[in-house]
């Protein structure tokens, strides 16, 4: 494959080298050594330094300068029949942190190519990047064949580096210049930035960043990205312990979240690159997953995540109301933890967060106060209403859900004050799936008169979502039906809460303050107060309506003893949501409707 960079930087040198080699042969000059020029780039950020080309035994064959990432080096033709190492030392500016990173002999950028990868007399391409460095470290430092090293890398990262690609520094390349490149070039550039983002995510800075590829190779030496090397020891980089990080939140999910973070990192990703199609495989936390934490007071608490559901809901994680059951067990005594009486563990909370691969992060509607009715068994239930699935219908990930449970510990164990309560996070990664079958358990609606400015900076009708919260037989006849209503909002940033301006999904109730259409001069979204909110239900296609009653400020609305719901066939339950006098409708202009069979 011929690339623009070759033509601009490498082709004149390559032709000269080829002519020199041919001239030596034509003139029967036995002293000339035929060589082939290999052009390449060394990008973690763009490196300036030196490239050393070595044979399979480690003997140096040639060297050349690397300037702003680019190099061109003449390699003896006789060496092309064996594996070659391209070892780059020098320095570069890290995309995310901006730190200057030194590449020394212990932690260079490197590339190993297979025997006969390059052909005598043909211009070669050598992209030297963090991912090729991991593969070379597996082969050079862990006794793997190159093929085995590539297999180990691909199993963890979901791709193999494209050695025909010409990566570039995504921080110093404009979006227009990036758009002129091939997709393979852009994917390779993104992945160079991805490793910078991953280094940031795991807490590396300065020259420690250069040690990340070697550490990942140590980790993958047992074919498992889990923070543990092939001898069972934790992998460390300076003060960073990858095993401990993996215990808190699995490394494959950190890697996938780094994809999302780099897409949205406008300062580091000035080229405006999107995440490549090939993504790392992940193993989600299934219902019943358990993790043990150590609290500041030294308690060992095992937290298990499960779900409970009553018809028409089913257990598992879905784009619907999900009742998360968290079970707390003292790992030392194997006794359940009662958060209402335990001297140390005094509360439990949760905070779900979606890290989208398009660079946007957001939470989802969720409850804050656990149901403690099963506290004697250490069991607590918290509601979540998932607004999106983890993956598209074809299985392609859309992002990563972090379900973070917070175990709250009283620092002095007296349960007397709240200002000394510490929250210890436990992170799960559920696979949220799209609801299956014909049931419709949530529905969106809007009104053109109710406008806001969305996360893309566009003005549009604000979306509202009505969720089936519960439908239960009423002993007096009929069913009690409860609907939860949420919306979308982006608050103005504040000094005390820098994340306040991210997308949120607050409940809809009288008195709720939202933000509307952004003011062009101030850049702020003005307050919009919900003065009136009504929810009504119809079972006869809108011929008659019955009101639901607000449950305080929860965003839930209930009607008791609703008659006419079938327990043997699907019901179409139309809803009329009116907010500040605006009646909400679907995109087709109809009343939003939930569809389900009542228990």
Strands (E), 114-268: 124-128, 236-237, 240-241
For residue 434, count other CB atoms closer than 10 A to its CB: 14
Spatial distance between the Cα atoms of 221 and 233, rounded to a whole number of angstroms: 11
Residue 337: helix, strand or coil by DSSP?
coil
**Residue-level length of the chain:** 599
Q: Name 94's bridge partners.
A: none
Eight-state DSSP code of residue 376:
G
Q: What is the pLDDT of residue 319?
A: 97
Mind listing the pLDDT tens digit for each residue in 339-378?
Answer: 999 999 999 999 999 999 998 889 999 998 999 999 999 9
Q: Which residue has the tokens 């003997």?
A: 59
Q: Rounded to 5 degrees, what are φ and ψ at 312?
A: -85, 5
Contact 201, 209 (CB under 8 A): no
Residue 443: helix, strand or coil by DSSP?
strand
CA distances from 450 to 124, 258, 416, 456, 575 (A): 59, 35, 46, 17, 18
Q: What is the pLDDT of residue 418?
A: 72
Q: What is the pLDDT of residue 400?
A: 95
Angle at 398 between CA 397 and CA 404, to 5 degrees: 95
Mean of the per-residue pLDDT values of the chain: 92
Q: Which of 575, 595, 558 is nearest to 445 (CA)?
A: 575
For residue 585, count other CB atoms closer than 10 A to its CB: 17
CA distances from 565 to 320, 469, 470, 471 (A): 20, 16, 13, 10
Spatial distance between the Cα atoms of 130 and 212, rounded to a whole number of angstroms: 8
Contact 92, 170 (CB under 8 A): no
Q: Rounded to 5 degrees, what are φ and ψ at 27?
A: -90, 5
Q: What is the pLDDT of residue 493?
A: 78
Packing angle, helices 183-201 and 212-220, rounded to 10: 90
Residue segments in the chain with a per-residue pLDDT below the cut of 50: 1-28, 498-500
Which residues have C-beta within 8 Å of that of residue 577, sequence separation ≥ 6? 445, 464, 466, 485, 508, 533, 534, 535, 583, 584, 592
Q: Rounded to 5 degrees, what are φ and ψ at 53?
A: -100, 130
Spatial distance between the Cα atoms of 256 and 265, rounded to a whole number of angstroms: 15
Angle at 289 between CA 287 and CA 292, to 5 degrees: 150
For residue 475, count other CB atoms closer than 10 A to its CB: 8
């Amino acid at each position: 494959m011929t690339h623009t960079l070759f033509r601009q930087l490498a082709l004149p040198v390559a032709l000269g080298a080829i002519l020199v080699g041919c001239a030596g042969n034509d003139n029967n000059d036995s002293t000339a050594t035929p060589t082939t020029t290999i052009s390449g780039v060394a990008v973690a950020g763009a490196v300036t330094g030196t490239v050393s080309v070595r044979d399979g035994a480690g003997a140096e064959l040639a060297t050349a300068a690397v300037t702003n990432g680019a190099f061109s080096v003449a390699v003896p033709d006789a060496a092309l029949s064996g594996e070659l190492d391209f070892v780059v030392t020098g320095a570069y500016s890290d995309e995310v942190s901006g730190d200057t990173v030194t590449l020394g002999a212990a932690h260079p950028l490197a590339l190993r190519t297979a025997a006969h990868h390059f052909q005598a007399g043909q211009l070669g391409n050598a992209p030297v990047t963090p991912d090729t460095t991991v593969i070379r470290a597996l082969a050079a430092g862990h006794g793997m064949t190159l093929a085995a090293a590539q297999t180990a890398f691909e199993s963890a990262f979901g791709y193999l580096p494209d050695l025909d690609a010409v990566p570039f520094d995504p921080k110093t390349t404009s979006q227009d210049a990036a758009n002129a490149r091939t997709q393979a070039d852009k994917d390779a550039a993104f992945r160079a930035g991805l490793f910078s983002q991953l280094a940031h995510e795991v807490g590396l800075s300065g020259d420690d960043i250069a040690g990340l590829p070697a550490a990942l190779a140590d980790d993958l030496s047992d074919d498992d990205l889990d923070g543990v090397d092939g001898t069972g020891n934790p992998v460390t980089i300076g003060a960073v312990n990858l095993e401990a990080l993996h215990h808190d939140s699995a490394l494959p999910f950190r890697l996938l979240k780094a994809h999302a973070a780099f897409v949205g990192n406008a300062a580091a990703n000035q080229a405006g690159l999107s995440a490549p199609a090939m993504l790392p495989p992940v193993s989600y936390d299934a219902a019943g997953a358990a993790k043990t934490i150590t609290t500041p007071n030294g308690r060992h608490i095992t937290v298990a995540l499960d779900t409970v559901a009553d018809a028409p809901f089913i257990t598992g994680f879905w784009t619907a109301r999900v009742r998360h059951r968290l079970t707390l067990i003292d790992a030392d005594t194997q006794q359940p933890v009662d958060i209402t009486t335990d001297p140390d563990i005094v509360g439990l909370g949760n905070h779900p967060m979606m890290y989208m691969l398009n660079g946007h992060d957001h939470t989802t509607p969720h409850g804050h106060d656990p149901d403690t009715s099963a506290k004697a068994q250490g069991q607590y239930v918290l509601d979540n209403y998932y607004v999106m699935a983890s993956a598209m219908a074809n299985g392609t990930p859309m992002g990563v859900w972090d379900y973070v449970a917070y175990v709250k510990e009283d620092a002095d164990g007296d349960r007397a004050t709240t200002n000394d309560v510490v929250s210890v996070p436990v992170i799960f990664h559920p696979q949220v799936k799209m609801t299956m079958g014909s049931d419709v358990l949530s529905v969106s609606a809007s009104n053109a008169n109710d406008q806001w400015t969305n996360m893309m900076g566009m003005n549009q009708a604000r979306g509202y979502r009505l969720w089936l919260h519960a439908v239960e037989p009423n002993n007096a006849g009929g069913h009690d039906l409860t609907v939860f209503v949420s919306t979308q909002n982006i608050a103005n940033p504040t000094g005390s809460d820098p994340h306040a301006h991210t997308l949120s999904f607050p409940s809809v109730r009288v008195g709720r303050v939202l933000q509307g259409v952004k003011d062009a001069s101030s850049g702020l979204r003005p307050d919009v107060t919900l003065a009136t909110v009504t929810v009504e239900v119809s079972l006869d296609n809108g011929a008659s309506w019955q009101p639901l009653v607000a449950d305080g400020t929860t965003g839930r609305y209930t009607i008791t003893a609703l008659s006419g719901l079938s327990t043997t066939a699907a019901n179409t339950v139309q809803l009329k949501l009116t907010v500040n006098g605006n009646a909400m409708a679907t995109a087709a202009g109809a009343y939003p409707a939930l569809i389900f069979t009542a228990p």
